[in-house]
Structure 1
């Protein structure tokens, strides 16, 4: 997990995750970065929580799709 927080300049919740994948029977490693940005109305806990959760869920779905496609 590279980033999990708020970008006050752009008023966004940002989640960035770097993943590595090794396929069965192969020695190479594939790497991919996943990122999601969700707008927040204000930089405070009430806005940050739901936006960070939404961004994290988007990143998790992206990573799951990538791993699933590797099968």
Structure 2
């Protein structure tokens, strides 16, 4: 049975930049410098945070 990759933020960032998830984690931890990877990582974190917030109720009169 093939092992599935975790769909975590580092893995998503790594896929976007064609690097390893461990490299992304090194960038996040400050062991490596790569502003593009850090920006992508933060964007994904922000998007995940927005997804976890409850949706605002939509007033039916606006439809």
Greater strand fraction, Structure 1 or Structure 2? 1
Greater helix fraction, Structure 1 or Structure 2: 2
Structure 1 length as normaliser, TM-score? 0.34
Larger Rg: 2
